[in-house]
Amino acid sequence: MLVLVINCGSSSVKYQVRDTDQQGEGNQVIAKGLIENVGTKIPDHTAALAIMAEELKTPLHGKTIDSIGHRVVQGGDVFTEPVLIDDQVLQQIDDLSPLAPLHNPAHVLGIKAATETYPGVPQVAVFDNAFHSTMPEYVYRYAVPEELVEKYGVRRYGAHGTSHDYVTGVAAEYLGVERDQFNAVVAHLGNGASITAVEGGKCLDTSMGYTPLAGLIMGTRSGDIDPSVLTNLMMRDPELTPERMDQMLNKESGLLAIAGNNDMRAVVEAMEGGDERAKLALDMASYRLAKYIGGYHVAVGGMQALIFTAGIGENSSPFRELTVSRLGALGIKLDMAANQVRSDEPHLISTEDSAIPVLVVPTNEEKAIAEATEVIVAG
Ligand code: ADP
């Protein structure tokens, strides 16, 4: 099946056409691209998709798209699995916008534009938080008054679910463990970063919360912080408006705030050159991550594997080394040579006598979305 995978942001459209009947990543990806400046140089999402359709003409050789899979960031507690999009689903995605103000409205525009560009082609929404819908209430609930839950849907939702789900499946297969018997801790470390406790192949807990600001220290996001810092400062300083605080914690914090750069490569290079701020930033980020790994190891009753994925998780051997060096209490030992290996395939980076295997598993959200889309459309 020829599946067009679309990831619509507020100012960009990322796309990939995949042929799910082919074997191997190289054969499956027919075309991919990124259209930026939507809303400025390119007037709207319909115009962006018209450009995409034009770009696809040559690689498609006259073949037609069979189905479209959309990445949708927030499905709230309404959507717990991928779903065929109709008017009602579109309305529900729109209704969930307060929980993802930067993302869901853009997805709605993208779905409408796709309906215009590819009339009659079935479209599927694949929700980024669906994998986290198995979290029990004692995990997803915050200890706040019921009113906030009812009125604003305040609870932990999580993100990067498609990636955590995909990587869990690949790792279980790699280790030869039945997925429903598989306990693991998955660290998705990209620009945004989150970690998931997987028990019996399902999500038990994840570090992102009501929004993707919670949890780990990220490129520009603070991760966990005492919420009183916000309320206290906003009460004291009129310049620190909610908008300003939101901007500060989401865009001006994390590695950027400490090291002056949000790119892991640059921060590691600076540390290696003796930069004390870069060292502090890496110590903070790896310490926070190691603390979560230890906690989740306990939460799942003992992980059978620790898994790294996404831009930093797949590529930054120094950051993996720094993190694992803090896990000595768990008997985890890194194989220094294996940790240097770059590969598109899942691979082991711990020693044979490590108490728990450590894996690098390249994520592939587009593949996961295409497969989910095919299942829904074919079913
Ligand atoms: P996104 O959340 O945008 O999908 P990615 O998963 O692509 O992010 O990860 C992006 C981050 O990965 C970059 O900010 C960079 O810090 C890191 N990264 C990418 N390549 C490397 C590399 N070779 N070494 C270290 N870090 C890398």
How far apart (Å, rounded) are the C-alpha atoms in residues 35 and 38?
Answer: 7
Counting from 1 in the atom list of ligand 1, the atom nearest the Cα of 188 is 6
Q: Is residue 12 helix, strand or coil?
A: coil
The domain 176-360: what is its CATH number?
3.30.420.40
pLDDT at 314 over 90: yes
Query: Is the minimum distance from the CB of 269 to ligand 1 under 6 angstroms?
Result: no
Binding residues for Mg(2+): 7, 365
What is the distance between the alpha carbons of residues 218 and 225, in angstroms, rounded to a whole number? Answer: 13
pLDDT digits (tens, 9 = 90+) for 239-295: 999 999 999 999 999 999 999 999 999 999 999 999 999 999 999 999 999 999 999
Contact 31, 60 (CB under 8 A): yes
CATH class for the domain made up of 2-127? alpha beta
> 10 Å Cβ neighbour count for 342?
10
Q: How far apart are CA 171 and CA 222, in angstroms?
A: 29
pLDDT computed for residue 379 by the predictor: 86
Task: For residues 114 and 56, give the distance between their C-alpha atoms in angstroms, rounded to a whole number.
Answer: 14
Give pTM, 2 decimals: 0.95
DSSP three-state, residue 360:
strand
For 50-78, what is the mean pLDDT? 95
pLDDT at 74 over 90: yes
Overall average pLDDT of the 217-233 stretch = 97
Question: If you take atom 12 of ligand 1, which residue's CA is the nearest one?
Answer: 311
For the record, the structure tokens of 191 come out as: 């620009």
The catalytically annotated residue of 19, 77, 87, 128 is 128
- In order of 46, 123, 264, the CA distances from 72 in angstroms are 18, 12, 27
Question: In a 10 Å sphere around its CB, with 0-12 CB exposed, 13-18 middle and 19+ buried, how is residue 33 labelled?
Answer: middle
State the average pLDDT for the chain: 96
Ligand 1 in reach of 192 Cβ (< 6 A): yes
Q: Average of pLDDT values for 169-173? A: 98
For residue 198, the SS3 value is strand
d(CA 93, CA 76): 9
Helix H or strand E segment including 14: strand 13-19
Which residue minimizes the CA distance to atom 7 of ligand 1? 311
Distance between Cα 213 and ligand 1 center (Å): 18
Task: Say how many C-beta atoms besides its own lie within 10 A of residue 251's C-beta.
Answer: 14
CA of 369 to the centre of ligand 1 (A): 21
Rg for the chain, CA atoms, rounded? 21
Distances from the Cα of 222 to the Cαs of 128, 193, 226, in angstroms? 21, 11, 11
Of 278 and 98, the structure prediction assigns the larger pLDDT to: 278
Residue range 184-211: average pLDDT? 97
Alpha helices per DSSP H over the chain: 25-28, 45-60, 87-95, 104-117, 137-140, 146-152, 161-175, 227-236, 242-251, 254-259, 264-272, 276-299, 310-315, 317-324, 336-340, 365-378
Task: Give the DSSP per-residue string, 80-143.
Answer: SS-EE--HHHHHHHHHTGGGSTTTHHHHHHHHHHHHHHSTT--EEEEETTGGGGG--HHHH--S
Residue in this structure with the two tokens 């009602």, named with its chain if needed: 88
Q: Does 176-360 match 2-127 at the fold level?
A: yes
Say if residue 101's pLDDT is above 90: no
Nearest to 8 by CA among 112, 163, 88, 95: 112
From 256, 263, 342, 366, give the residue whose CB has the most ligand 1 atoms within 8 Å, as the site to mutate: 263
128 belongs to the catalytic site: yes
By most ligand atoms within 8 Å of CB, the mutation choice from 102, 160, 265 for ligand 1 is: 265
Domain limits, the chain: 2-127, 176-360
Cα–Cα separations (whole angstroms), residue 42 to 9, 45, 190, 205: 13, 8, 27, 40
